[in-house]
Amino acid sequence: MPKYKAPRGTYDILPGESYKWQYVRALFRQTARLFNYREIETPIFEDSNIFERTVGDTSDIVEKEMYKFQDKKGRIFALRPEGTASVVRAYIENGLHVKNNTSKLFYLGPMFRYDRPQKGRHRQFYQYGIENIGSVSPYIDAEVIALADHFLKKLGLENYQLQINSIGCENCAKDYDKALQEYFSSYRGELCADCQKRLDKNPKRILDCKVKSCQKIAVDAPSMLDYLDNDCAANFQALQAHLEEMEISFKINHRIVRGLDYYTQTAFEFVDNNLGAQNTLIGGGRYDGLIKKLGGKDQSGIGFAGGFERLLLAMKTEKIGFATEDIPDLYFVNIGSKAQKTGIKIMQELRQNDVSVEFDPDRTSISSQMKAANRAGAKFCLILGEDELVKKRVILKDMASGVQHEYPLDSIISEIRNRLASS
Ligand code: HAM
């Protein structure tokens, strides 16, 4: 047993896996750029109020899952449980609303939630996400959804479903909360302790409870869609019309409330059909009051985030391949100290010419170096011994075909570059 282990709910991304992460991250960056989003990075910890005031004090995240700590000066910080509040904080603090091209932002990075770890659910997990700040047009809602859909399709995923809902605005919530309170009151004794508190403070949160008995009771709860005011209903209709224009299929699911309090109107989830309990690939929605709540202008925003872990699981289930792992172009086999001296120069030059080279000075015999070259998966081997050095020549071996030729030392860089370009 090793003496130290990664904390429960966290994991290492090891060589052999990391190239898959690079692949999905690169594809997300590409997709975001297609829609003209620009990357933002925020700190991993923030003033805990930023999350408490926005995600909601009756949400699971704030009630149970935040990693909070006090610094040496007694300030209370939290490891970010999500990206939206941090991005909005950065947007306001840096005056991004008055700068050009700064209202469409995307991000990638680790988030932290003290949740019960299981397949697709971790305590440190990695999200990709976008935020579009400033527009209230339902076209933007559809475009944000289109970006998520485009990304999943580009990865090759097919077995997922887009589900949409509208959770209305403050105005709709008044009547809806009353209806929920009436409905759940008759089950008060059967609700979990948290939901009993939620019933008075924020009954919508009961719809999102992870406790099985609460979920059962919630099945017949009133639907938000029956309580939308005219504006919210019209926006929801417009969103559906735009999705149809974009030929993006969707299902209305009036049960989607999302686990964070800042949502208003559009809420959506991309749900994988194969993954078990943790099957939400992407979740997002519109947030009307969030920017103002954090001290900004009265602007609206909409965005989404997804977890890379679930994405990789979904890709594995659908047997989708990744771009191949990075392997060295060339393994340098050096025999003898004189050859090594020349070899070091050649390797420097190769790397300066963008050829990736592996060399192991601890291996001295040709057979051990050749074995290592095979294990590394190198495309070519460059073999330089004392004999070749005298002739001012070097051997280049194609590892796939096993064919090898001698070349003059002074032409080897261009020869390798040509061979790599045509391989
Ligand atoms: P969320 O629904 O809390 O939304 O998380 C979004 C996605 O992150 C989930 O659908 C899931 O794929 C992934 N995720 C969440 N928790 C975990 C976990 N413990 N382990 C692994 N993956 C997880 C948000 O975070 C919002 N900020 C999304 C958003 C952006 N809304 C508007 N803009």
CATH of the domain at 356: 3.40.50.800
Are the beta carbons of 416 and 330 closer than 8 angstroms? yes
Q: Are residues 394 and 291 both part of a single domain?
A: no
- Taking the centre of ligand 1 as the mean of its atom positions, its distance from the CA of residue 131, in whole angstroms, is 13
Distances, alpha carbon 363 to alpha carbons 332, 356, 370, in Å:
11, 19, 10
Query: Which pairing describes strands 357-358 and 380-384: parallel, antiparallel, or unpaired?
Result: unpaired
- Taking the centre of ligand 1 as the mean of its atom positions, its distance from the CA of residue 205, in whole angstroms, is 16
Mean pLDDT of the chain: 94
Terminus-to-terminus CA distance in the chain, angstroms?
Answer: 44
Q: Give the per-residue pLDDT at 364.
A: 83
Distance CA 269, CA 281 (A): 7
Q: Which tokens is 158 given?
A: 């097919």
| Domain assignment present for 213 | no
Q: Are residues 161 and 255 both part of a single domain?
A: yes
- Taking the centre of ligand 1 as the mean of its atom positions, its distance from the CA of residue 342, in whole angstroms, is 54
- Taking the centre of ligand 1 as the mean of its atom positions, its distance from the CA of residue 27, in whole angstroms, is 19
Domain stop point among 264, 293, 317 = 317
Q: Are residues 304 and 347 both part of a single domain?
A: no
Q: Are residues 296 and 362 both part of a single domain?
A: no
Q: Please tell me the number of Cα atoms within 13 Å of 313 on its side-chain side.
A: 21
**What is the H or E stretch that residue 285 is in?**
strand 280-287
**Atom 2 in ligand 1: residue holding the nearest Cα:** 283
User: How many domains would you assign to the chain?
Assistant: 2
Q: Are residues 165 and 263 both part of a single domain?
A: yes
**Strands, sheet with 357-358, edge to edge from the N-terminal-most edge strand:** 357-358, 330-334, 380-384, 393-398, 404-408
Q: Are residues 368 and 296 both part of a single domain?
A: no
Q: Which tokens is 206 given?
A: 């009961």
Q: Which residues pair with 334 in a beta bridge?
A: 384
Please report how the helices 138-155 and 18-34 are oriented relative to each other, as an axis angle in degrees rounded to 10. Answer: 150
Q: Are residues 365 and 291 both part of a single domain?
A: no
- Taking the centre of ligand 1 as the mean of its atom positions, its distance from the CA of residue 129, in whole angstroms, is 9
Q: Which tokens is 53 given?
A: 């005031």
The predicted model gives 113-122 an average pLDDT of 95
Are the beta carbons of 357 and 351 closer than 8 angstroms? yes
Q: Which residues pair with 280 in a beta bridge?
A: 271
Are the beta carbons of 275 and 120 closer than 8 angstroms? yes
The predicted model gives 151-172 an average pLDDT of 96
| Concatenated DSSP letters of 214-254 | HHHHHTTSPPGGGG--HHHHHHHHHHHHHHHHTT---EE-T
**Atom 21 in ligand 1: residue holding the nearest Cα:** 121
pLDDT band with cut points at 50, 70 and 90 for residue 157: very high
- Mutation test residue for ligand 1: of 40, 50, 54, 82, the one with most atoms within 8 Å of CB: 82
- Taking the centre of ligand 1 as the mean of its atom positions, its distance from the CA of residue 125, in whole angstroms, is 9
Q: Give the per-residue pLDDT at 258.
A: 87
Are the beta carbons of 286 and 270 closer than 8 angstroms? no
Q: Give the per-residue pLDDT at 350.
A: 94
Distance CA 406, CA 389 (A): 12
Q: Are residues 392 and 246 both part of a single domain?
A: no
Distance CA 72, CA 49 (A): 18
Query: Which pairing describes strands 251-252 and 160-166: parallel, antiparallel, or unpaired?
Result: parallel
Distance CA 76, CA 115 (A): 20
Q: Are residues 302 and 346 both part of a single domain?
A: no
Q: Give the per-residue pLDDT at 272.
A: 96
Q: Give the per-residue pLDDT at 247.
A: 97
Domain stop point among 292, 317, 342 = 317
**Atom 33 in ligand 1: residue holding the nearest Cα:** 303
Per-residue pLDDT tens for 217-252? 999 999 999 999 999 999 999 999 999 999 999 999
Q: Which protein residues touch ligand 1 with a CB less than 6 Å away?
A: 82-84, 113, 115, 120-122, 125, 127, 129, 131, 259-260, 280-285, 303-307, 309-310
- Taking the centre of ligand 1 as the mean of its atom positions, its distance from the CA of residue 281, in whole angstroms, is 8
Q: Give the per-residue pLDDT at 255.
A: 86
DSSP state at residue 118: B
Domain span at 83: 15-169+229-317
